[in-house]
Amino acid sequence: MVEVATSLLSIDEEKSIQTIYDIEVAGTDYFHIDVMDGKFVKRDTIELMRKYTEYIKQIANTKIEVHLMVKDVLNFVKAYIDMDVDCIMFHVEACRSESEIADIIKYLKDNNTKVGLVINPKTEINKIFNYLPYIHRVLVMSVEPGEGGQKFIENSIGKIQELNKYIYENGYEVDIEVDGGVNNENAELLSDAGANIIVAGSYIANSNNYKEAIESIRK
Ligand code: DX5
Ligand code: ZN
């Protein structure tokens, strides 16, 4: 069975405390925090996501995973390590060199935080193969990062299949997570392809029953 990570990007800010509580009660497996710096992507959600993370810490027990869509990765890695989150994921496209990626992976592990690498729709999946022995999770983007509520990009299914095959053949233990445009209709295809964590934002935020929405993705 897949796990569900609920993205808070599309929730109503004014009702955010109640919504976070309701999503927790509805049984999400993770809260997915989308940090955007206005540079790597257009939008800036730095303050909003800091606030949501603090709320979650105050009222929920569910694990927090942070999706960094930022240029200055290490700066944000440090800030979120201080907030004691479960997993921090950063884009390979944001890094200037392989050694920068390796250094950030090491920094996260030295600080007892799970590491995820994120890959954009246009980046080939084999770009992250070298890092698989050292990381916990790969986040395959199925939309261009930057906004919630976009249409799912189909080629991510093939990428997940290829990644899943490579992980299996090499005996690695790495989660495959998919992010963007997921709903109850395409979730099963993604889990069949090998994804074991599914991010859903607008599908859950716009539903009138969070529990049913989360469960419809799980099955
Ligand atoms: C996009 C974000 C996603 C997204 C998910 O940049 O990383 O987490 O908001 O939202 P939906 O499910 O609406 O695509
Ligand atoms: Zn995300």
Cα(106) to centroid of ligand 1, in Å? 27
In three-state secondary structure terms, 200 is strand
Supply 107's token pair. Answer: 């920094």
In this structure, the residue with its CA closest to atom 6 of ligand 1 is 145
Q: State residue 1's pLDDT score.
A: 87
- Ligand 1 lined by 10 (C-beta under 6 Å): yes
Domain 3-218 CATH superfamily: Aldolase class I (3.20.20.70)
Do 11 and 24 touch, CB atoms closer than 8 A? no
Supply 40's token pair. Answer: 């790597």
Give the distance, in angstroms, between the CA of residue 81 and the centroid of all CA atoms in the same chain.
Answer: 16
The CA distance from 186 to 183, in Å, is: 6
- Ligand 1 lined by 30 (C-beta under 6 Å): no
Q: State residue 61's pLDDT score.
A: 94
The CA distance from 175 to 47, in Å, is: 28
Supply 112's token pair. Answer: 């007892």
Q: What is the pTM of this model?
A: 0.98
In this structure, the residue with its CA closest to atom 3 of ligand 1 is 180
What are the residue ranges spanned by the domains of the chain?
Answer: 3-218
Mean pLDDT by 10 residues, the chain (219 residues): 97 98 98 98 98 97 98 98 98 98 98 98 97 98 98 97 98 98 97 98 98 96
The CA distance from 181 to 192, in Å, is: 17
* Nearest atom of ligand 1 to the alpha carbon of 41: 6
Q: State residue 219's pLDDT score.
A: 81
